Structure 1
Amino acid sequence: MANKPNPKVVEICKQFILSDEDMKKISNNFLADIKKGLAKETHPKAVVKCFITYVTDLPDGKETGDFLALDLGGTNFRILSVHLENRKSEMINEVYELTKDKIVNTSVVLFDHIAECLHNFIVKHSLQDKLLPLGFTFSFPLVQVALDAGLILKWTKGFDAKDAIGQDPVNLLREAIKRKGGMNVDVRAIVNDTTGTLIACAWKDPNCRLGLIVGTGTNMCYVEKVENAEMYQGDRTKEYVVINTESGNFGSDGSLDFVRTEFDREIDSKSINAGHQLHE
């Protein structure tokens, strides 16, 4: 016969069980925060920023060609070579480590390391003679101003290249590639990892309308009507635009305090960005 759970353990665990009413309140608070992020008047103070991605079209599965992808957003980063043809994909994938001396340093140190790894990947897989378009997945809060340009708002997940705040990561990457040399690469777009996930899944299933990441951090994006995205400054004849919610910051204004426990508070107090990214 199985032993009964320790009453003390049961008592501690009770506080992690949310009622239906709690879940409804969280849902309503989240929807209210999304609306604040989308609206011009409330966007500056919104905790769920709902950044515009400038991605207004999703793939239909008919795309063909050779592409590079660079995925930066955690303790490791990935470089991929992707071949698309006849609704099928072939992919080469390499993972590279990012040590603390690279991610807590200057932007030059960080991006020169990335460019070095990119060069090694290109040489290893004999891609030097091809002009390759590159998609840059950048999984940090970013104010996007075009499909291939944006401004770093802040670092999360233990990264802290302070001089990069307010700079364009695409430009930082392009300059690092230029310094390294020996690469025929054209950085065409920058997207959040949630947006990249949505695009990749939409290529396989055109009904996909939401991208979700649960990893080193958590975040989600979704397809919104352009008419509701008041911060969008692109072509307003487009019907839809992908919104990067930056939902990891949900609750940082106190809206989740009613379900936070002593353990949540202790973890937050010892994190590198205490008081922020509470949902994450």
Structure 2
Amino acid sequence: MEMRLDRSEVKDILQKFIISEDDLHIISEKIELEMEAGLSSVDGSSIAMLPSYVPALPDGSEEGQYVAIDLSGKNLRIMLLTLNGKGREPSAVNNNYIVPNHVMKGTGDQCGAVL
């Protein structure tokens, strides 16, 4: 069964999703307050937050090699990131692996032993 809508019906439906600029500011302020409450460990915040402890944004002078490891689903992703400093582009080497289901469903020790 195919449902057909004419232009005015579509317009009426879309109108319900339009947010005024004033309402958008109110929503933004409420979200920001909830995020601040979540970061300050205030009970009752609707948004759980974890502090990142990042003191400043990178400025391009950073140098060194760093390893990033991401284990999610059935994929293990490992990246070696080389920061070259002086505003030069970083380089990255990525490797992706499929982790067997029995490893993912095992204990943390079993998973760590395989990895």
1:64-103 correspondence runs (5 A): 64-72=63-71, 78-86=77-85, 87-96=88-97, 101=101
Tell me which residue corresponds to 1:54.
53
Q: Percent identity?
A: 27
Question: Quick one: distance in 2 between partners of 1:80 and 1:13?
Answer: 43
Q: Which has the larger radius of gyration?
A: 2
Q: Which amino acid aligns with 1:93?
A: N
The two structures have a TM-score, normalised by structure 2, of: 0.63
* 2:46 maps to 1:31: no
* 2:114 maps to 1:180: yes
The CA deviation at 1:106 is: 4.7
Count of aligned pairs between the two proteins: 107
Tell me which residue corresponds to 2:16.
15
Q: Which amino acid aligns with 2:91?
A: E
Alpha-carbon displacement from aligned partner over 1:216-257 (angstroms, at most 9, x marks no partner): xxxxxxxxxxxxxxxxxxxxxxxxxxxxxxxxxxxxxxxxxx
Question: Quick one: distance in 1 between partners of 2:94 and 2:78?
Answer: 6
Q: Secondary structure at the match of 1:36?
A: helix
Q: Which amino acid aligns with 1:18?
A: I
The two structures have a TM-score, normalised by structure 1, of: 0.31
Structure 2 CA distance for partners of 1:38 and 1:84, relative to 1, 3 Å: closer
Q: Which amino acid aligns with 1:10?
A: K
Q: Which runs of 5+ in 1 are unaligned?
A: 113-175, 182-280
Structure 2 CA distance for partners of 1:6 and 1:48, relative to 1, 3 Å: same
Question: Quick one: distance in 1 between partners of 2:66 and 2:105?
Answer: 30
* 2:62 maps to 1:63: yes
Structure 2 CA distance for partners of 1:108 and 1:27, relative to 1, 3 Å: same
Tell me which residue corresponds to 1:247.
none
Q: Which amino acid aligns with 2:49?
A: C
Q: Which amino acid aligns with 1:108?
A: G
Structure 2 CA distance for partners of 1:18 and 1:97, relative to 1, 3 Å: farther
Q: Which has the higher contact order (CA 8 A, sep 6+)?
A: 1
Q: Which runs of 5+ in 2 are unaligned?
A: 1-5
The CA deviation at 1:97 is: 5.4
Question: Quick one: distance in 2 between partners of 1:98 and 1:9?
Answer: 46
Structure 2 CA distance for partners of 1:23 and 1:96, relative to 1, 3 Å: farther
Structure 2 CA distance for partners of 1:89 and 1:106, relative to 1, 3 Å: same
Alpha-carbon displacement from aligned partner over 1:86-121 (angstroms, at most 9, x marks no partner): 43311112344579x57x845539x82xxxxxxxxx
Question: Quick one: distance in 2 between partners of 1:13 and 1:75?
Answer: 39
Q: Which amino acid aligns with 1:54?
A: Y
The CA deviation at 1:26 is: 0.8
